[in-house]
Structure 1
């Protein structure tokens, strides 16, 4: 496992993630498409918040079960709490995830161009 330093553009939001990042997730939902984030999911115990979550702004949308944390100064989203599964996802057999999604674009020492991309079809989810 490698320790990665995650930060927003201005440095106000800082965290550390211990992970072997071997791919990135690229979602095409309305928010992710506009944001351009590439994410990697980590277990709750793999992230250490150096900036208290209360010091960040939060955006909740869609099912209202996920939360995008972003810096109130520069507006960059270094990580998010993924939404709980929809009924359609549960029926399709997807497994629940309780961890965090790190925006790998916020890791300075990571070459994201070499990582395989997993396409997530968030635009096709039916929110119920």
Structure 2
């Protein structure tokens, strides 16, 4: 069994820095998803509870996109178009955060799991 990782705070942003946020996580795993939107944006995500994420700047620079059941909400920067995070469909009190938007992120040693989103009804 691998030792438990320490919970740390990580800062993130979109490309133009209009949207800035931070999350608290120990990176238990990373996920990919094969649904129609996630496969196109090709993000690698970490799941965090809404209480572990804070938008520091640029909430007004975010635009939201919903489709299918209109439960998940995918957020994009209106200025640069980058996807930093989304509110999850199955667990709407959690966000999927695009780890490539995090400062100094290194995925070495963090397990990655592929999720099946296209089969969700």
TM (norm. structure 1) is: 0.82
Does 1:25 pair with 2:20? no
Native 8 Å contact 1:17 1:48 kept in 2: yes
Decide which structure has greater strand share. 2
Alpha-carbon distance, 1:125 to partner: 1.4
CA distance in 1, matches of 2:23, 2:106: 16
Q: How does 1:7-18 map to 2 (within 5 A)?
A: 7-18=13-24
The answer for the alignment partner of 1:106 in structure 2 is 101
Decide which structure has greater helix share. 1
Gaps spanning 5+ residues in structure 1: where?
86-95
Native 8 Å contact 1:79 1:102 kept in 2: yes
The answer for the alignment partner of 1:89 in structure 2 is none
Does 1:123 pair with 2:107? no
| Structure 1 ranges of 4+ moved more than 3 A | none
SS at match of 1:25: strand
- Count matched residues: 115
Q: Root-mean-square deviation (CA), in Å?
A: 1.4
Gaps spanning 5+ residues in structure 2: where?
1-6
Q: What CA deviation, in whole Å up to 9, does each residue of 1:49-85 have, x standing for no partner?
A: 11253331111112101111110111001111011x4
Match of 1:49 among 46, 51, 55: 55
